[in-house]
Structure 1
Amino acid sequence: MPAVNVTLKSGASHEELEKAKQKVQDQGGKITNEFTLIKGFTAEFPEDKVGALETNEHITVEADSEVKTQ
């Protein structure tokens, strides 16, 4: 399963993040990391189900990838 990062958009309530976590688990995904500086998490999630997360207007969903600094 591919990994995705899910982050809460500005102004959204913490409950929306909890709903997203529950949706991941309900759709067969697994939360692998929870962020502490921002409201969000990384999850392994079935690729064919990512659309179910992307319909939530309170979160941003993007593929997890390596980030480098100079």
Structure 2
Amino acid sequence: MPTYMIKLKPTATDDDIKAVKDKAVSNGGTITHEYKLIKGFAVEMPEQVTSMSFVEEHPHVEHVELDQTIKI
């Protein structure tokens, strides 16, 4: 299952973060990590989820990125 990193805007409140997490979980996701240095979290999504627009469209989400290995 693919994992996505969700970064929220610095102005996002705890309630905003919870709302985004709840949206991801209600779409079949599992929260795998909560970041402490930035407002954000990692979520593992089922293979059949082909779009993260339900999270990307949230007004407090700054960035959504597929977690992947980068080779140099």
TM-score by length of 1: 0.80
- Work out whether residues 27 and 49 of structure 1, in 8 Å CA contact, stay in contact via their aligned partners in 2: no
- Counterpart for residue 21 of structure 2: 21
- Counterpart for residue 35 of structure 1: 35
Identity of aligned residues (%): 37
Q: Which moved more, 1:1-10 or 1:45-54?
A: 45-54
Report the count of equivalent residues: 68
Partner residue of 2:65 out of 46, 62, 67 = 62
Give unmatched runs, 5+ long, in structure 2.
none
SS at match of 1:61: strand
Instruction: Choose between structure 1 and 2: higher helix proportion.
Output: 1
Q: Hey, which bits of structure 1, 4+ residues long, moved more than 3 A? A: none
